[in-house]
Structure 1
Amino acid sequence: MDSGELRQRRPATTTSSKVDEGHPAGPIKHGGSKQGILMVLFGLYFFTCSLLIFSTQLLGLPLYLWNKAYYYRWMAWTKEHFALVLIFMTELWSPTIMRVYGDKSVEGQLKQTSDGRLETTFSPRMVMIANHQIYTDWIYLWWMAYANKVHGYIYIMLKRSLQFIPVIGQGMTLYGFVFMDRKWANDEKRMRRRLEQLNAQVAPGKTTLNPMWFLMFPEGTNLSFNGRNGSAKWASKSGEQDLKHCLLPRSKGLLFTLRQLDKSVDHVYDCTMAYEGVPPGEYGQDVFTLRSTYFEGRPPKSVSLHWRRFPMSSIPLHPLPTDDIGPDAEAKAEKRFYNWLMDRWREKDALMDRYMTHGSFNANDDGDVERFLADHPPQSEDGYQFDFPAQDMKVVETAVKPAAPYEFVQILLPALAVSFVVQRLVYGWRLVVAWLTLIQMLRDLEQTAEALRLAVGVGVY
C-alpha cells in the first residue's frame, strides 16, 4: 500500500459519529449494562456452539479414510447445525424484516408458508453471485439456503486470512469453503482442486451429485470507503464507468468457476442485496456495525433480496467456433464474459438506485427501463431483456427464523450422543474392573485356603 492510499483511508470515528447522529434503526435501545450482558451471552452462545460443532466435525474425520460419501454427508450435517446457530443468533440478537423479490425467471420459486416463513424451490446445484454490502451478507444468503433445504451444501469463497481464526477457520476448512490469496497463481490450483471435488461428490448409495450452492462475491470485497476508491481506480485503469451503488466486479475467478462447473450446474442465480436506512454517501458496514446490530438493539429495519436466474447455456463461457484458434480466441471469450458480467452489474446498480430512491425494488416510474437502456446499452450479445420489478409483483415479507424451536436440539445431539456413549463406556469399564477385582479376590481366597490346608494337613472342602 502506498502513501497515497494511506492518506485516503477515512478514520472509523468520523463515520461512526456522523451515523450516530441519526441512526436509521433509531436510538440505542440497550444501556451499557445490558449491552455487556448481551455481549457475554452472545459470546457464550456462539463459541460454545462453535466448539460443539467443531468437535462433531472431528468425530467424523475417520470417515474420510473409510467412505468419502459418508464423510461429506457428515460434514454437511454439521454445516446444517452451523446454519441453525446463525438463524437462532439472528432471531434472538438482531431480528429484522426480510423482503424477498424475484423477476420472471424465478416465478413460482418463492413461496410463503402458512406460518409466514419463506420456502424456495431454487435449483439444488447452482452458482450464486451477489453484490457485497456488509459482512453479514453471507448470513442472509445462508438463510436462503436453509429456506431451500440445502443449508448443509453451501460453499463460500473467502479471504485466506479467515482460515487462521482458531476453531472457526478450521471448521470452515472442513466445510469445504474456498480460501483465496488473491494471487491467481496460487488461487487457480486451489480452486481447480476444490471444484473438481464438488463435481464428483455423491450421496451415500447414490449416483447423483450432491446439492451445491457455490457463493461468490465478484466485487471481491464489501462496499466501503476503501472499496469505493479501489473500484474507482479499477474503472480508470479499465476504461469502465464506475458504478454508483455497487463496486465493479472482477470476472476472472467467476469465469474459471463457471467453466469448471459447466457440466454439473444448470443455472447462475444473481442476488441484489440492500439494507434499509443506509444514508447516501455512507456505507452499510459503518452504519450496521457488530455492536449496533447485535448489542445496541439497532439491526437493519429490513434487508431486501432481489433474485434473478440465468441458464448456464445463455452465458458466454467458451470461445466460439468462429473465433480464431489460439490466444486471441481465449481473449475474445474472456471479453464476451466480462461484457456479460458488466451488463448484469449495471442492471444491479440500477436496481440499487431504485431501492435507494423508493425504499423498494418495485417499479414506480414509467419509462425507467427505456431511460436505463438508453444510458447503458447492453455490451453482451446474450439477448437478455432487463426489466425492473413490477409494482404488483408479490414480495415475500418474513423474518430469519427456524421452522421450529426444537431444531436447535440438533446442534446438541452429537454432544449428547457422545456423552451417552462415554457414560456407557465408563460404566462398562467400571463393571469390568469390578468383575476383575472379584475374580482376583476369589483367587486370593482360594490360594489362602490352599495354604491353610497344607499347613494343617486337612482339606477345607
Structure 2
Amino acid sequence: MNPVLGLRHKNRMAFLSPHELIVTALISQLYVIIYGDLPKNKENVIYLSNHQCTVDWIIADMLAIRQNALGHVRYVLKDGLKWLPLYGWYFSQHGGVYVKRSAKFNEKEMREKLRAQMKAETPMYLVIFPEGTRYNPEIPKVIADSQSFAEKEGLAILKHVLTPRVKATHVAIDSMKDYLDAVYDVTVAYEGTVDHKGQRKLAPSMTEFLCKECPRVHIFIDRIELKDIPEEQIYMRRWLHERFEIKDKLLIEFYDAKDSKRRNKFPGKSVHSKLSLKKTLPSLLFLGGLTASMLLTESGRKLYVKTWIYGTLIGCLWVSIKP
C-alpha cells in the first residue's frame, strides 16, 4: 500500500498519510472541547503548543480539519525521527523540518526548507512544540532541569510546562513573516491525568485515548497577529516564555484550582466540537478497506511487507542525503 494518499486541493496535491486520515477520523468523534478563537477559514499559520504525548500531533489535525486545512499540517521534528520507517521520509517530503538541539541547530537549513515551501506556494500549518521534548511527570529530572535553567536565566519558573526553546520558532516566524496570516498559541489538557493526590500523571497514549480512557480533551486557542510578536530573537525569547507562562496559568487552573468546580476546564466560553461523520468516515472506510483488501490476499500481503521494508530503506537513504 502506498504510505501516502494524494488529495487535490486548488490544483495542488495535499498529501495525507493513512495514519493522519484514520486516526483523525477516529479521534474526531471523541469528546473535544474548544475554547478561544479558531477561525472557520483556513490560514497560513505557525501552531505553537505544549507537548505531553503522541496525541498532541493529532490535535493539530483535529483543528485543521475544522478549517478544511487537513493535509496542510507540517511539523518541526527532532532530527532522530527522520529514521522512522516510511514516516521519516513521508514527513520530509510533506514539508516537515528536522532540527537538532542547541549548538547543533542548523538555522540555514531550516530557512532554506521553509523558503522552498513558500516559493512553491505550499499551504502552511506548521506545528512547533517549543519545549523540545514531552512534559513527562515520570521523568522529574527533565522538569527539574528545565526549571533550574529558567531560574538561572531570570525567567519565571513553570510548573505544568517546560521552559520553551526559541530558535525554531524565531527562524520560522522570521522566515515566513510575509507569508503567514497568524500564529496559533494552543494549550492542550487531558482529563484524567491527575492522581488521587492531585499529582500530574502521564498523558494518555494513542491507544488509551482511542479507547476513551481519557474522558475529554480540552484545547485553548489564542490567535496572535504577527504585528504583536517581536522580531528580534532576544525579545521573541521573552515573548515566547510569557506565552508559556500564560499556558502554565491555564493548566494550573485546570489541574490545581482550589474550587473543584473550576477544575478540568479552561476559563471562558467553550464548545463541544464534534465533526460530522461525512468529514471523516469516508477516509476511514476507504483506507481501512484498501488495507484490508490487500492483507486478505497472499500477493497483497507480500506487497504490503515489501513496501514497508524497501520503502523504509529507500526513505532512510533519501533523508540522509536530502533531509
TM-score of the pair, normalised by structure 2: 0.76
The equivalent of 2:311 in structure 1 is none
The equivalent of 2:15 in structure 1 is 77
CA distance in 2, matches of 1:282, 1:361: 15
Retained in 2: the 8 A contact 1:130–1:217? Answer: yes
Aligned to 1:219, which of 119, 131, 135?
131
Larger relative contact order (CA 8 Å, sep ≥ 6) = 2
* Structure 1 pair 399–148 and aligned structure 2 pair: CA distance change class (3 A): closer
Residue 53 of structure 1 aligns with an amino acid whose one-letter code is P
* Structure 1 pair 226–151 and aligned structure 2 pair: CA distance change class (3 A): farther
The equivalent of 2:230 in structure 1 is 316
Give the CA deviation at 1:275.
0.5
CA distance in 2, matches of 1:223, 1:190: 27
Mapped pair 1:282 → 2:200: yes
The equivalent of 1:347 in structure 2 is 246
Q: Helix, strand or coil: the match of 1:170?
A: helix
CA distance in 2, matches of 1:77, 1:291: 24
The equivalent of 1:334 in structure 2 is 233
CA distance in 2, matches of 1:401, 1:136: 20
Q: Percent identity?
A: 23
Aligned pairs for 1:173-252 within 5 A: 173-201=92-120, 209-224=121-136, 225-252=140-167
CA distance in 1, matches of 2:115, 2:244: 28
Retained in 2: the 8 A contact 1:98–1:399? Answer: no
Give the CA deviation at 1:193.
1.5
Aligned pairs for 1:269-418 within 5 A: 269-279=184-194, 280-285=198-203, 288-290=204-206, 292-294=208-210, 297-317=211-231, 333-356=232-255, 357=257, 358-363=262-267, 389=268, 393-398=269-274, 403=279, 405-408=281-284, 411=287
CA distance in 1, matches of 2:94, 2:286: 18
Structure number with the higher strand fraction is 2
CA distance in 2, matches of 1:401, 1:87: 11
The equivalent of 1:170 in structure 2 is 89
Q: Helix, strand or coil: the match of 1:211?
A: coil
Give the CA deviation at 1:303.
0.3
Q: Helix, strand or coil: the match of 2:274?
A: strand
Give the CA deviation at 1:236.
3.1
1:164-199: CA deviations, max 9, x gaps? 122122222221211122145453132112111122
The equivalent of 1:99 in structure 2 is 33
* Structure 1 pair 304–126 and aligned structure 2 pair: CA distance change class (3 A): same
Residue 315 of structure 1 aligns with an amino acid whose one-letter code is I
Retained in 1: the 8 A contact 2:24–2:280? Answer: no
**Alignment root-mean-square deviation, CA:** 2.9
Mapped pair 1:135 → 2:54: yes
Retained in 2: the 8 A contact 1:86–1:139? Answer: yes
Aligned residues: 279
* Structure 1 pair 180–397 and aligned structure 2 pair: CA distance change class (3 A): same
Mapped pair 1:90 → 2:46: no
Retained in 1: the 8 A contact 2:208–2:214? Answer: no
* Structure 1 pair 401–153 and aligned structure 2 pair: CA distance change class (3 A): same
Answer with 1 or 2: which has the greater Rg: 1
CA distance in 2, matches of 1:395, 1:412: 30
Structure number with the higher helix fraction is 1
Aligned pairs for 1:144-163 within 5 A: 144-163=63-82
Retained in 1: the 8 A contact 2:49–2:130? Answer: yes
CA distance in 2, matches of 1:267, 1:355: 26
1:113-145: CA deviations, max 9, x gaps? xxxxxxx33x52011101112221011111111
